[in-house]
Structure 1
């Protein structure tokens, strides 16, 4: 399993993804699930992936190979489409292409084709945008009412996003909130694990330079986790008990 979050704010976008994959309790590995394609000064496109690892890697490989083979401009790729909507359609097409090739074999071997993606970024000439792409290749775009998307093991980290998110947050605030969402998920589900890949994208910067990986012993994450636990305990203590 995995956990990924994409957040759209007035100041830009925040993305985070864990790196754990497992095929049983004794077969746990680390794989990168946050992928970035960038043309400095023109576009930054980020893709988060959850689900069957072979399928998600195949989708990412197709998108990357199309870029390498589409330099002459005859093929639509993430590097030459004019809008993020068109980019979302490319991701959906790649999902359907993998399904056409591998779907029947996966079903015959009792494997599943379940995958989901969060696609976000900005192409010069439009605002930053954020989409969720499903196993069928269809997709939705994030709304102003709910400016975030989650994929994977999302239920444990959802409450803080519902309670705290507001569009005029600073990107650093958004990143803090998302890491707290991850902290809650890590405590409740062993299928999600560190390291966490994080990307903060400043609107109109067309640069992905604000990337980092949160490792197991990261001092900020440990401090954040302890402070949040202490604050929750204090809040719980201060609320009056139920009298029956």
Structure 2
């Protein structure tokens, strides 16, 4: 399984993805699920993947291959004029991969399926994030839905809903995402460290600051322990319910 989050703030975008892949309870591996492209001063694009690993790797390989040189960028995510058009291209490419992988076409999408988070900014447009489904259709982030999750979403969502603030700075947003990821890791063995993190600042048109957060990261360990202690303390402060 997988856990990925794409979040939009007033200052920009924040992306985080785990790296665990599994083929059973005793067979774990690490695989990158976050990929980025940029054209300096013109566009920055980030993709995170969840689902069938063969499907997602084929998708990324196709997008990379079609973006290698100027003469071969047709179609390419480095030539599309808007993020909306990039989302359409990624959705069509995902559908192409699934249809090629399945002997019965799109009817086997469940077996070969994948979900994608696509985010970034192209000059002249606003920073945005799309969630792309296996069928190739997609939805865009809004003020009412300021973050998207794919993969194992249910354990980490409550803290996002309660604590998200579009005005928060990047440091607090990363802290919020780490709490969400930590809650998921403690609840599901198919999600695990290390986490890949990326921050995109509005109008920078660069993929921005990136980091791989490992188990020995001191800040992550402090957040993990502190959040657990804070929950226990808060529980004790709540009134008991007596019949």
Normalized against structure 2, the TM-score is what?
A: 0.95
Give the C-alpha shift of residue 106 in structure 1.
Answer: 8.8
Aligned length: 243
Give the conservation status (yes or no) of the 8 Å contact 1:106–1:112.
Answer: no
Distance change >3 Å, CA 202–CA 99, structure 1 → 2: same
Q: Deviations over 1:71-105 (max 9, x none)?
A: 12761311111110011011111111112211227
Report the aligned-residue RMSD.
Answer: 1.9
Give the C-alpha shift of residue 143 in structure 1.
Answer: 1.4
The aligned residue for residue 52 of structure 1 is: 52
Q: Deviations over 1:131-152 (max 9, x none)?
A: 0000001100011112000000
Unaligned stretches of 5+ residues in structure 1: none
Matched, 1:235 2:228: no
* Deviating more after overlay: 163-172 vs 123-132: 163-172
Matched, 1:166 2:159: no
Normalized against structure 1, the TM-score is what?
A: 0.95
Structural mapping, 1:1-244, within 5 Å: 1-68=1-68, 71-72=70-71, 75-104=74-103, 112-244=111-243
Distance change >3 Å, CA 89–CA 110, structure 1 → 2: closer
Q: Deviations over 1:192-227 (max 9, x none)?
A: 000000001111111223100010111110000111
Consecutive aligned runs of 4 or more in structure 1 exceeding 6 Å deviation: 105-111
Unaligned stretches of 5+ residues in structure 2: none
Give the conservation status (yes or no) of the 8 Å contact 1:18–1:194.
Answer: yes
